[in-house]
Amino acid sequence: MNALAATNRNFKLASRLLGLDSKLEKSLLIPFREIKVECTIPKDDGTLASFVGFRVQHDNARGPMKGGIRYHPEVEPDEVNALAQLMTWKTAVAKIPYGGAKGGIGCDPSQLSISELERLTRVFTQKIHDLIGIHTDVPAPDMGTGPQTMAWILDEYSKFHGHSPAVVTGKPIDLGGSLGRDAATGRGVLFATEALLNEHGKSISGQRFAIQGFGNVGSWAARLISEKGGKIVAVSDVTGAIKNKNGIDIMSLLEHAEENRGIKGFDGADSTDPDSILVEDCDILVPAALGGVINRQNANEIKAKFIIEGANHPTDPEADEILKKNGVVILPDIYANSGGVTVSYFEWVQNIQGFMWDEEKVNKELKSYMTRGFKDLKEMCMTHSCDLRMGAFTLGINRVAQATIIRGWGS
């Protein structure tokens, strides 16, 4: 089942629990706007290259649409649609005043020079500048993009609309980026894990973690969890996988990964099969890489008691059912990895106010939002007698539905 089919399935199940009528259901599901543009740039060798850019703006009932822009060879409409819809529910679960959007360009950034990436970003911005905006649609970094990409978008957008730092988030600090944004998704995973374990009478200290993915989210989660006394027993990234039942020294691993562009060859742990990371003997599994990695083929072999979804859509619906029967507790992506968009919201607020916060305030506010979000999610679980995933979906969808009805759009 692809990402869009799985997302639509979860929406339908939550809609049924909420008792939404079919007209409102349809209104909530159909995207506000889908944009597809051709981006042609001169390459460094003088030849022309064309790329296809997408932006799906899903819903704006609760505020400006919000979502990342990814540069990846496999950016395609269904995936962008699914991720835009997930952002609508995620921002509602986090109780921040946004709707959902997502975008991307079908390209391989590793095959493009810095100047080619800049030209591509500026052409894409020229094509969509009148469809994004501070109070319309606020892009952010995603796979294959980062603070520099956001700086180019800001600069190009400002040529048409004047200096507008709040038009994108995830910017470099010197252009109005927020302190704490880099660690935000990983820190949100930490706070979400703490909230869940607290519910079960446990703490992070002494728990054994396996983390799939050692990019921004996985590396920050590993670092912060180990600082809290959690034992990281297995880690993987695109270069390979390692394990050490006595716990991996995360600060040494971070240094190694920085110097060697990956975890492969780290001498403080044993090398292992990357596919085995998900079924490693641990208490808590954190998938923090790609979607669809937990499926019916490996779900029965998972030994973790808790799964914290740091990635978007890492567990497919068939695996969900298997894991539920096996008593595994899954903390869903639309809550667990919402730390990034929450601090993006703080960045947007700081830009609009023209007043920057210190990092302590950012982290304190993030903890407050994540803690309250878990409490709200649990209340929905109790109301509808459902698991955490359906609790999160019903919470997000109900908030968007209420905003839609109050505006008079749902009739």
Find out whether 303 is annotated in a ligand binding site: no
CA dihedral 117, 119, 122, 127 (to 10 degrees): -110
Q: Is 66 assigned to a binding site?
A: yes
Going by their DSSP bridges, the two strands 270-272 and 99-106 should be labelled as unpaired
* Catalytic annotation present for 102: yes
C-beta atoms surrounding 384 within 10 Å: 18
Q: Measured on CA atoms in the order 399, 404, 408, 411, is the torsion positive or negative?
A: negative
Cα separation, 288 vs 271, whole angstroms: 19
185 is in an annotated binding site: yes
> Binding site annotation covers 246?
no
The structure tokens listed for 68 are 């990342």
> What is the rounded CA–CA span in Å between residue 142 and residue 154?
16
Strands 65-72 and 240-243: unpaired
Dihedral, 34, 22, 334, 165 alpha carbons, nearest 10: 40
216 is in an annotated binding site: yes
Report whether 211 contacts 234 (CB < 8 A). yes
Active-site residue among 12, 26, 36, 102? 102
Contact 139, 105 (CB under 8 A): no
* Catalytic center residues: 102
Residue ranges of the annotated binding site for substrate are 66, 90, 344
Residue ranges of the annotated binding site for NAD(+) are 185, 216
Residue ranges of the annotated binding site are 66, 90, 185, 216, 344
